[in-house]
């Protein structure tokens, strides 16, 4: 079931599988335009067509009391506390510096006015994603927070109520992205849209980037595990935890130990026998996953950096200094990726498909603007005048040079 490949045979795994967005973009483009022109009316039509529901109202009325049970609420409280603390740690700070030469420089931090979170609710409804998208925005100080979900479950609604979010809308797919990007009579227009979704959600975010801010265009989820040795049961369980997300998910073990690779492959097969999500996970393991044999851990790190995985598990923490590209890193054999999915604190909304070469995961910094500020005295502008006027005239911008000289005449 789980292939064991030499690194020389694994190039297909390391050639990033591109999300086939072109066809999806052609499908969603008219949907976006329809929502832009007709607003709520279009949203109700698409809910009937795609979600098979007759909506009287797009806005969801949140429950007035808890229905989810004490265990669920305790889990929400634990996860939210850790997510909030980590988001506060990531938030950019206002800073100032007096340079001593007539320049006072600094930065101020201002939150976005509004944001929209897309929360999947198909095969696996994800209240955890509600926490991961909303809490960083709250930490940043965003005033208007909107949540769109095609079929919000009691758990999603309970988490929204617990967080104090009342702008919850029963809309999904590309039409939900369009509604939050353009605004409708019911749905506020937002500054940034975040959260995972299917290929049509990804295509809509790509097409609307610029009209609205986005986090990134997400593809199938993925994990790379680098281990020289370890408990095959743990490694297999981590690979299956990723594989059960989607038939397109990818789980790759990089190791120099054939013995470990064989034990993990056997363990994956054994665990699949009792896994309720095996119909999904087995396809992801068979088609997109492997134990890849490398000559050394250094070669494993090089391969991982080329791949730039969404999740990277390093069983040897000493390898961290060599990591250049990863969405989120899990250090040591006890640090299962599932902890990051739910409750350890770092965000689980992460770049896929190689985008980790460019940025890390969602954070409170995505919901603020860092604005530069400068204040000059007469002595400060005088000391800079030769450089400013020379550069301005080299560029043919005479008024720039004169705007300095007029202050010093």
pLDDT in tens, 199-214: 999 999 999 999 999 9
Active-site annotation holder among 68, 267, 310, 337: 310
Ranges 45-59, 157-171, 205-219, 320-334: which has the least confidence:
45-59
Confidence of residue 178 (pLDDT cuts 50, 70, 90): very high
What pLDDT, on a 0 to 100 scale, did the predictor assign at position 1? 86
Mean pLDDT along residues 152-173: 95
Confidence of residue 66 (pLDDT cuts 50, 70, 90): low
Per-residue pLDDT tens over the stretch 337-357: 999 999 999 999 999 999 999
Residue 34 known to be catalytic: no
Residue with more model confidence, 202 or 63: 202
Other beta carbons within 10 Å of 165: 19
**Structural tokens at position 400:** 């720039």
Asked if the domains at 3-17+220-345 and 21-216 fall in one CATH topology, the answer is yes
Average pLDDT, the chain: 95
Active-site annotation holder among 34, 245, 311, 315: 311
What's the topology of domain 21-216?
Rossmann fold (3.40.50)
Per-residue pLDDT tens over the stretch 213-271: 999 998 899 999 999 999 999 999 999 999 999 999 999 999 999 999 999 999 999 99
Confidence of residue 64 (pLDDT cuts 50, 70, 90): confident
* pLDDT over 60 (residue 94): yes
What pLDDT, on a 0 to 100 scale, did the predictor assign at position 121? 86
Residue 310 known to be catalytic: yes
What pLDDT, on a 0 to 100 scale, did the predictor assign at position 86? 98
Residue with more model confidence, 56 or 233: 233
Ranges 51-60, 94-103, 197-206: which has the least confidence:
51-60
Asked if the 3-17+220-345 domain carries CATH number 3.40.50.300, the reply is no
156 and 195 in contact (C-beta within 8 Å)?
no
Q: Report the distance separating Cα 127 and Cα 116, nearest Å.
A: 15
Q: Report the distance separating Cα 297 and Cα 303, nearest Å.
A: 10
Length of the chain: 409
- Residue 18, classified by CB atoms within 10 Å of its CB into exposed (0-12), middle (13-18) or buried (19+), is exposed
Phi and psi at 359, nearest 5°, equal -160, 165
What pLDDT, on a 0 to 100 scale, did the predictor assign at position 141? 98
Residue with more model confidence, 70 or 388: 388
Q: Where are the domains of the chain?
A: 3-17+220-345, 21-216, 377-408
Can you point out the beta strands (E) in 319-409?
Answer: 328-331, 368-376
pTM, 2 dp: 0.94
């Amino acid at each position: 079931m789980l292939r064991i490949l030499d690194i020389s045979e694994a190039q297909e795994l390391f050639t990033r599988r591109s999300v086939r967005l072109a066809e999806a973009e052609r499908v969603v483009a008219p949907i976006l335009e329809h929502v832009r022109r007709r607003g709520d009316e279009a949203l109700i039509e698409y809910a009937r067509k795609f979600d098979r529901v007759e909506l009287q109202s797009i806005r969801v009325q949140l429950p007035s009391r808890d229905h989810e049970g004490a265990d669920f609420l305790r889990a929400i409280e634990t996860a939210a506390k850790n997510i909030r603390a980590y988001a506060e740690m990531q938030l950019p700070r206002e800073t100032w510096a007096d340079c001593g030469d007539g320049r006072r420089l600094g930065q101020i931090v201002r939150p976005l006015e509004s944001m929209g979170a897309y929360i999947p609710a198909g095969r696996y409804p994800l209240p955890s994603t509600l926490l991961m998208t909303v809490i960083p925005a709250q930490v940043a100080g965003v005033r208007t927070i909107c949540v769109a979900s095609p079929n919000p479950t009691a758990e999603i609604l309970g988490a929204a109520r617990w967080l104090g979010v009342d702008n919850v809308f029963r809309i999904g797919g590309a039409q939900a992205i369009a509604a939050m990007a353009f605004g409708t009579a019911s749905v506020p227009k937002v500054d940034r849209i975040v959260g995972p979704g299917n290929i049509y959600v990804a295509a809509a975010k790509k097409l609307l980037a610029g009209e609205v801010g986005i986090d990134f265009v997400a593809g199938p989820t993925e994990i790379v595990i680098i281990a020289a040795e370890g408990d095959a049961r743990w490694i297999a369980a981590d690979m299956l935890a990723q594989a059960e997300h989607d038939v397109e998910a990818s789980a790759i073990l990089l190791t120099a130990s054939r013995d470990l690779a064989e034990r993990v492959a056997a363990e994956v097969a054994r665990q699949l026998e009792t896994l309720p999500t095996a119909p999904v996970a087995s396809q992801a393991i068979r088609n997109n996953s492997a134990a890849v044999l490398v000559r050394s851990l250094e070669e494993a790190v090089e391969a991982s950096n080329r791949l730039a995985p969404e999740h990277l598990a390093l069983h040897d923490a000493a390898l961290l200094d060599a990591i250049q590209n990863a969405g989120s890193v899990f250090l040591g054999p006890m640090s299962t990726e599932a902890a990051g999915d739910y409750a350890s604190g770092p965000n689980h909304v992460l770049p896929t498909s190689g985008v980790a070469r460019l940025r890390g995961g969602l954070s409170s910094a995505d919901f603020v603007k860092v604005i530069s500020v400068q204040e000059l005295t007469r002595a400060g502008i005088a000391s800079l005048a030769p450089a400013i006027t020379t550069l301005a005239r080299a560029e043919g911008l005479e008024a720039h040079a004169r705007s300095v000289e007029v202050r010093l005449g």
